[in-house]
Structure 1
Amino acid sequence: MSSTAAEVVRLLSVQGATVAVAESLTGGLVAAEITAVPGASKVFRGSVTAYATELKHELLGVDATLLARRGAVDPQVAAQMAAGARKALGADWGIATTGVAGPDPQDGQPVGTVYVAVEGPDEPVPGSAAGGKVRALRLNGDRAEIRRESVRSVLALLLQEITGEQTGNERAQDTEQNGGF
């Protein structure tokens, strides 16, 4: 269990909000990370592991034309997966991962190309950002490292959106200004 996952669960609990997950390359690791946190059942609605491309359309509502034209490794696909998870599982927040963990390229994309996405509430929870956000990653390492970093990145993006922070560095700067506490 990561400290980021624990903080996500804590903040969602305080806000009375929920999260749902759509995963491709991470194959359930994001859901496992969240549910490893005690009390996750208060905030975690569920997950869809749509590893096969057609399932992204069938289960999460990703546009079939987009999938046919661009493939599954695409920022719009990630955004639609997050929105689809949020809608299908009835959550305030939806998060998603799609990309290429290796060993071979996919959809013309090199190994290490990953997109993580967050779709927030239409009406923002007080103190949070609203709407969706996609982050493009270019990761190095082996398959396991790429998958691990994808989990870390999507949870960090969710935490950033929940708290309304614009960058990860703002919090570090604020901590530094407050004597490190």
Structure 2
Amino acid sequence: MTRHQLYVHEDIPYTSHNSCGVIHICEENPRIAAYVFSLAQDMMLDDFIDGSDPGVAVALTEQIAPSLVAYGRDAQHTILDQIRARTLARNLNIPLLGLGGTEDGVIGAMAGLALASTRNDGRFLQLGKIRDFTGPSTVEELLAGGIDEVWNIAGPRVTSGTVQNPEGKSPKACPVNGRAILFVEERDGELFPIKRD
């Protein structure tokens, strides 16, 4: 699961940071996609924040067109409306549904599909066992738990040491060319994770 940051602007109502979450399905199967769409819809209706405007969409890789990727990038720096989101969904045959409030959540749902498809945006919220690692963790543990590589923000790859993740917080790796990369910085000889969107 990845989180993607959208445009934060006073004219855009949002409940928490205007971001969207995307569940990645490895199986390219229309029946599984339809099942996940239904399941996500039910789960979101059961557990969304009052006052929010959730939306849900699901797409196979073949449905992610350049026009959708452009839309996702626009959603990171421009105010968009539902019309463009719904038009894209209809033209690309992508199931899309607003689940409450103004239904503006369809904007973020479509943007999330686009941004996740680039494999170079956002950060992982769930991947392998990374949520099990709260507090300081060794690089070796993180690599065994699902992170592909650890890189110092100043350049070199990190292969050993302990990442001083805050207590109660799991590391937030980023998708980089489809790989889960945890960025760290060295301060006073210790490694600290860098939060990136």
TM-score (norm 1): 0.26
TM-score (norm 2): 0.25
Higher helix content, 1 or 2: 1
Larger radius of gyration: 2
